[in-house]
Amino acid sequence: MSGLSAPKGTFDVLPPESARFLAVRDTLTAPLRRAGYGYVETPVFEETAVFSRGVGESTDVVTKEMYTFADRGGRSLTLRPELTAGLMRAFIEHRLHTGPLPVKLWTVGSAFRYERPQAGRYRHFTQVDMEALGVDDPALDAEVVALGVQGFRDLGLTDFELLLTSLGDATCRPQYRELLVAYLEKLDLDEETRRRAEINPLRVLDDKRPEVQAQLGDAPLMVDHLSDSTRAHYDAVRQHLTDLGVAWTEAPRLVRGLDYYTKTTFEFVHNGLGAQSAIGGGGRYDGLSAALGGPDVSGIGYAVGVDRTLLAVAAEGLDVAASPGVQAFVVPLGTEAKRLAVRLVGQLREAGVAADTVYGDRGLKGAMKAADRSGATHAVVVGDRDLADGVGQLKDLRTGDQRAVPVGDLFEALRTAVGN
């Protein structure tokens, strides 16, 4: 059958698998809610400058991967390739920096990048994103990292690793940059890589091609050239993480794919995912607000891929499906019974019980199949003959036990049976 289909590299999340998607999303965001982070919604598209200035002109994201288009007014707009820059734009526009600091925010939503679709990498993906803005405190860095770790732990993941480093700041990055540039000038690099090195030489360290990596064995590393203040900051972050019971692996060559990172930088990787092992990451970005025309305030945050984390959950064979959508199911047989079923389901839902019934004309066999599929633990079967006797049959779908209950007591009996 020919017809419309989702664009290449995108996907639909559908029941019943979507219950696992929701469970992962909600488990990753629960630690943020418990820590006092406030929820934010920002547009899926922004002025292109939000990303070109915020994410960085040298990044693959900006040079190759953005979905950019002119709207009907001739404005250049871009589908968000990540969530931090738009969140920072909202922070500046609404002058959140004038209130109590730090401003703690989180959001979740789709992002879009034009790249070659492969396992674990899509053109449309969902991220949980969090930011703590306006305060430069190593303890805050540690809180942010620990909240990410907590989300993975709450899912039951054990085969993930926290990679950690410091990328320095304005006090030490310039001198290190000179060292790195001098080192890179001696290497055999193609023209495009050299151009990239001129904008941000750190990006070359992140080049995955073997012929480039082979030449970087003794390249100078930022973590060996930190100023006294950034070294002290990094030491304090690590001490707080130790106090919080969070283990990490030193990763001096870690370079995130976005240009705005300074000081504490980290990535979460999962050993069961092969080449696309990253499931999240982030860091401190003390120059991002100023780059977007806002006040010169610091910030730290991370983004975690819901889709990637779902792959990690599958790799470890974990069962994270949300509880079944329905607890109680009502099976009416006949017109009068249908009226009772609709009313009873409405009452149960109002009382906080997840309830459903059958629609369309189905016999007992089809209706009971629907009850089983729903995941409900209990069902009420009501025929017109039962109604004449003033009862309904309450059935435990796990054991098959069944008993007659007066119609007036069905609501309470069902509510008690499902433990609500």
82 annotated as belonging to a binding site for a ligand: yes
25 annotated as belonging to a binding site for a ligand: no
* Nearest to 160, CA basis, from 384, 311, 374: 311
> What is the 8-class DSSP label of residue 63?
I
Q: Rounded to an integer, what distance in angstroms lies between the CA atom of residue 277 and that of residue 398?
A: 40
Q: Rounded to an integer, what distance in angstroms lies between the CA atom of residue 303 and that of residue 305?
A: 7
DSSP string for residues in 97-131: GGSSSSEEEEEEEEEE-----BTTB-SEEEEEEEE
Angle, CA 294 vertex, CA 289 and CA 298 arms, to 5°: 35
The structure tokens listed for 186 are 């001696």
Q: Rounded to an integer, what distance in angstroms lies between the CA atom of residue 398 and that of residue 326?
A: 14
The structure tokens listed for 173 are 């990055």
How many Cβ atoms sit within 10 Å of the Cβ of residue 72? 5
The structure tokens listed for 19 are 């219950």
114 annotated as belonging to a binding site for a ligand: no
Burial of 238-255, coded b for 16+ CB within 10 Å and e otherwise, reads bebbeeeebebeebeebb
> What is the 8-class DSSP label of residue 397?
T
Residue with tokens 């809610």: 33
Residue by residue, what is the 3-state secondary structure of 202-256?
HHHHCCCCHHHHCCCCCCCCHHHHCCHHHHHHHHHHHHHHHHCCCCCEECCCCCC
17 annotated as belonging to a binding site for a ligand: no
The answer to whether 127 and 161 are in contact (CB under 8 A) is no
* Nearest to 378, CA basis, from 414, 416, 409, 352: 414
In this structure, is the dihedral angle defined by the CA atoms of residues 171, 174, 178 and 179, taken in order, positive or negative? positive
How many Cβ atoms sit within 10 Å of the Cβ of residue 56? 23
The structure tokens listed for 26 are 């909600």
Q: Where are the alpha helices (DSSP H) in 17-111?
A: 18-34, 48-55, 60, 84-93
261 annotated as belonging to a binding site for a ligand: yes
Q: Is 286 helix (H, G, I), strand (E, B) or coil?
A: coil
131 annotated as belonging to a binding site for a ligand: yes
238 annotated as belonging to a binding site for a ligand: no
127 annotated as belonging to a binding site for a ligand: yes
Q: Rounded to an integer, what distance in angstroms lies between the CA atom of residue 156 and that of residue 124?
A: 26
Residue positions forming the annotated binding site: 82-84, 113, 127, 131, 256, 260-261
Residue positions forming the annotated binding site for L-histidine: 82-84, 113, 127, 131, 256, 260-261
